[in-house]
Structure formats: structure tokens, C-alpha cells
């Protein structure tokens, strides 16, 4: 079912998962102990029903089909894995190290998305 959707809709679904995942993690301060898959899924559902263009393009009979939900859950796992495994850029690392020296902080980050979060925090502290 998922594979039968247009490439634009599939890209939009992927983007909505990625965006809402990063937003959810930012809302919990990237604290692994606060992570709840149920809370993330609820956050993602709220995001796609209110903001995602793809939601209105998928027929209702597909949206309610259990097979579609299984396929989207698999896609969600893939997207989450990709987000968590994408390495920070050299530019991010250098920027964060410079700001941390200025501020005397020691934030850690493991992936590009978390680095973006940390970079944003540090920029706010420097204001």
C-alpha cells in the first residue's frame, strides 16, 4: 500500500516523520530517559493531521488499513535510524566547540540533528 503511493506523498511522509521526530526530541531536550515512543507517535500524528500535505492526499481506505500502518511503522523505524546515525558535519562540530569554549559548557551530541539542537542552544546562550 505504502509503495503504491506517489513518490511525492512518500517523500512528504518521510519528511513529516523526520521533522516531528527532531521536534519531539528537542521538546524533551534530547534526553534519552524521557523518550517515549508512544509520546513521539502521538506528536507525529498531531503534526501530520495539522501540518502535513500528504495526509489529505492519501485515500481514507488506505489510512485506516492495518497493512498501511505496519508499512508506515517500518518507514518510521528507518527514518529514526537514519536521523540518529547521520554524523554531525565538520562545520557543526567546529561551531559547537568554539561556542562551548566561550561558554564553558560541555554538551555532547551524537548525530547531526542533535548537533543542530545543541548549536541552537549555545547560540541562544550567547545572545
Give me the pLDDT at residue 45, please: 92
pLDDT at 52 over 90: no
Give me the pLDDT at residue 41, please: 94
Confidence band, pLDDT 50/70/90 cuts, at residue 31:
very high
Grid cell for residue 74: 517500518
- Measured CA distances, 8 to 47, 53, 55, 106 (Å): 18, 10, 12, 40
Among candidate residues 70, 52, 67, 74, the one with its CA nearest the CA of residue 8: 52
Q: For the range 98-105, what are the long-range contacts, defined as Cβ-Cβ under 8 Å and sequence gap of 24 or more?
A: 99/123, 99/125, 99/126, 102/126
Confidence band, pLDDT 50/70/90 cuts, at residue 3:
confident
Grid cell for residue 4: 503504491
CB 74 within 8 A of CB 100: no
Provide the 10 A C-beta neighbour count for residue 21: 21
CA atoms within 13 A on the CB side of 89: 6
> How confident is the model over 63-84, as pLDDT tens digits?
999 999 999 999 999 999 999 9
Give me the pLDDT at residue 100, please: 97
What's the predicted TM-score (pTM) here? 0.90
Confidence band, pLDDT 50/70/90 cuts, at residue 53:
confident
Query: Using the 8-state DSSP alphabet, how is residue 51 labeled?
Result: T
Per DSSP, helices labelled H in the chain are 7-27, 37-50, 60-63, 66-85, 90-103, 112-126
Q: What is the mean pLDDT of residues 8-27?
A: 95
Give me the pLDDT at residue 127, please: 86
Amino acid at each position: 500500500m505504502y509503495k503504491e503511493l506517489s513518490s511525492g506523498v512518500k517523500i512528504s511522509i518521510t519528511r513529516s516523520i523526520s521533522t516531528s521526530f527532531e521536534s519531539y526530541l528537542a521538546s524533551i531536550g534530547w534526553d534519552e530517559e524521557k523518550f517515549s515512543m508512544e509520546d513521539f507517535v502521538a506528536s507525529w500524528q498531531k503534526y501530520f493531521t495539522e501540518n502535513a500535505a500528504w495526509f489529505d492526499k492519501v485515500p481514507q481506505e488506505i489510512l485506516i488499513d492495518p497493512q498501511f500502518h505496519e508499512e508506515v511503522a517500518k518507514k518510521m523505524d528507518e527514518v529514526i535510524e537514519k536521523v540518529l546515525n547521520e554524523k554531525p558535519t565538520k562545520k557543526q562540530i567546529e561551531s559547537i566547540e568554539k561556542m562551548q569554549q566561550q561558554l564553558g559548557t560541555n554538551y555532547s551530541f551524537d548525530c547531526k540533528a542533535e548537533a543542530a539542537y545543541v548549536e541552537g542552544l549555545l547560540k541562544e546562550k550567547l545572545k
